[in-house]
Chain A
Amino acid sequence: MTFLIAFRSLLQHKRRTFVLGAAVAFVTVVMLTLLGIAEGMNRTLIESSTTLMSGHVNVAGFYKVTAGQAAPVVTHYKQVVEVIRQAVPELKYIAQRGRGWAKITSDGGTNKMFGLTGIDVKNEKGLAAVLKIKEGKLEDLAKPGSIMLFEDQARDLEVKVGDALTIQAPTPRGVNNTLDVTVVAIANNMGMMSQFSSFINEASLRQLYQLNDETTGALMIYMGTTDLVQLKKVEDKLREALGKSGYQILEEDPRAFFFKFENVTREAWTGQKLDITNWRDEVNFVSWTVDLMNALAFFLAFVFLSVVGIGIMIVMWISIRERTREIGTLRAIGMQRGRVMRMFLAEGFLLGVLSTTAGALFGLVLAVVINGADVTLPQGFQFILMSDHLKVVPTVAWTLVAVVFITAVITGISLLPSFIAARLKPVTAMQHVG
């Protein structure tokens, strides 16, 4: 009955309820859309990171001949693979890729530092599906001495398909080696990540680092899930198993491998150390944008809710003033304070639930409209959102979070007016106008 009174009282003041409800629904739409954009970014991030630069979990590492010179390699990797397969029998497959971090110079004299991933293009079906080649052919990476760049890298280096580049990198033996390569393909940018990575023929990468067949850059393990909680467990298992097998293991450091050179070369050790990471660590330098977007969603929701909340408080206050006699009557005929309080909280709660649900539905429709409208993003946004189109991916989980969060805030806001209503004296029932 208290719920019924709450519900009917909301209906009684249709315009008031509608205005407040619309405001709450608006906040829900904003929050859900931003969360949806963040989720879109996250999906792109997962997809591109797990195809371009990482497995779900990676076993990589550094080999140092002298303390100050590190190469991003795993030596005698086949033994390592054995240990991995025993420790994590449930893995789907292991890919091995060469890795490098090098200075790349064009004939024109401009240069840039970025990551190199050595691939055997014939075994990289996933890559062909994700990359959009703008110029040249990805298959040409099968030729020795070939490299694929992203659009921005090609622009900065002022090169086209067919042009030559010189790559310079320190080998594990401690000398700088150079390699001449030809650009065979240029791919569309993939957000921020395309600043940092490029693809090179695997044999050529070995040649650059003067590696033997027993050595690779990283063992990329695909588990069939991107869920970080599960992947963390896999990482822990690997750390333990590899540690027991006598491997030296780097301390956990959730960053991309090419950010680790500085630390690794500062340390005194030499020889091989392994490094275990997950996909999120390897894209850590861009994943903050997803966190930022999520934070922005909550922050904006909070700001809007503060404004809407003040409105709700004022309106509830007015409503309690208007209903003083009704509340007094209910108290006089025997309704306890707690129940009066619950009745007004129920009003806030109902307002919250109904309008956030409506907002969630609007948000879904808006997501469909935005995705259907194929909105092309301006350059700066492409960089941050990791996609050239605005993409909103609503998820059940985030929708529930938004609905619950906003409803809780609205109910919380109605706590104070409800408390005031519950304190009204039953004598007020006897006060009458005229």
Chain B
Amino acid sequence: MPNSIVSIRDVVKEYSLGKVVVPALRGVSLEVERGEFISIAGPSGSGKTTLLNLIGCVDTATRGTVEVAGKNTSALSERQLTQLRLDTLGFIFQSFNLVAVLTVFQNVELPLLLQNKLGSGERKKRVMELLTAVGIDTHAQHRPSELSGGQRQRVAIARALVTEPQIVLADEPTANLDSATGEAIIDLMKDLNQKKGITFIFSTHDHRVMKHADSVVRLADGKIIGKESADAAVQAALTSAAGRSPVGAH
């Protein structure tokens, strides 16, 4: 499929804990189109993080193929995977994961320095543009510890976008934020998705967050049980919440 930016076929991921083999994904296939704003939903332990890690090239599948931006990740070396992450992917983490000893500006500039493509003037311009876009330009010289959770996640979004990646991955980006801030963050991501056409794949427990997605991939017990519209997914989540009461949600 030429238009797929992520293509996952029959992927199995098993973790071995000593002699015990824990299956995290049991035969998952998924195509993600360019420019999609897609959410991965499912109860705790269903394999959301595992799936995002495979797409993010920070982990490898036990069986099956994972293609990211046209590249089969199992055929790449550690070095090439790192380069792929740097050039093609952006990461937004649940706990923000900013470098504490660097300023907001330096945190956002870091991926550009790793790429080593732009001069300092261009870097500065790009960083400030993004900080303005996420509404944090006035705090450029602050340290992350001086910011609120929502502000830190904005910085993290700017860092994820600064290299103009094709895909941005976010594992529960709103889990450490209150719901109003969480929604604002999702709105911001959505806005950037529409303006820049970047593919966003994020996981969440929260149906208020889920409802902003173009479509929702629902996982249960390591299997995809459906890809549907946001409204249908929210409905399903509410039903399952009444019955099962998900663990670990916000």
Contacts and interface: CB of A to CB of B under 8 A. Distances in A.
B37 to A, nearest CB: 21
A5 B99 CA distance: 8
Contact of B114 (A12, A333, A429, A430): A333
A329 interface: yes
A16 to B, nearest CB: 14
A12 B102 CA distance: 11
Contacts of B110: 1, 330, 333
Contacts of B58: 331-332, 425-427, 429-430
B62 interface: no
Contacts of B90: 333
A4 interface: yes
Given A4-B102, A332-B58, A337-B78, A427 B97 contact: no
A346 to B, nearest CB: 13
Given A1-B113, A429-B93, A430-B171, A334 B99 contact: no
Contacts, number: 84
B83 interface: yes
The residue in A331, A339, A430 that gathers the most chain B C-beta atoms within 10 A of its C-beta is: A430
A29 B86 CA distance: 45
A6 to B, nearest CB: 9
A411 B59 CA distance: 32
Contacts of A5: 99, 101-102
Given A4-B102, A333-B114, A336-B79, A426 B97 contact: no
Contact of B82 (A8, A11, A331): A331
B95 A9 contact: no
A333 B102 contact: no
A300 to B, nearest CB: 35
Interface in A287-335: 325-326, 329-335
Given A1-B106, A4-B102, A333-B114, A429 B82 contact: no
Contacts of A429: 58, 91, 93, 97
A13 to B, nearest CB: 10
Given A9-B101, A329-B99, A426-B58, A334 B93 contact: no
B223 interface: no
Interface in B108-166: 109-111, 113-115, 159
A330 B110 CA distance: 9
B181 interface: no
A332 B109 CA distance: 15
A332 B102 contact: no
A334 B117 CA distance: 14
Nearest to A7: B101
B82 A329 contact: no
A11 B101 CA distance: 9
B94 interface: yes
A326 B171 contact: no
Interface string A99-131: 000000000000000000000000000000000
Contacts of B114: 333-335, 339
Interface string A332-365: 1111110100000000000000000000000000
Contacts of B49: 430
Contacts of B113: 1
A5 B113 CA distance: 13
Contact of B85 (A325, A333, A425): A333
B78 A326 contact: no
Contacts of B82: 331, 334-337, 426
Nearest to A10: B101
Contacts of B59: 425, 427
B105 to A, nearest CB: 12
Nearest to B59: A427
A139 B203 CA distance: 100
Interface in A363-393: none
Interface of B: 49, 52-53, 56, 58-59, 78-79, 82-83, 85-87, 89-91, 93-95, 97, 99-102, 106, 109-111, 113-115, 159, 171
Lowest 4 CB-CB distances: which A-B pairs, in order?
Answer: A334-B86, A8-B101, A426-B58, A329-B97
Given A326-B97, A331-B58, 11 more contacts: A9-B101, A11-B101, A326-B100, A333-B85, A333-B86, A334-B86, A334-B111, A334-B114, A339-B114, A427-B53, A429-B97
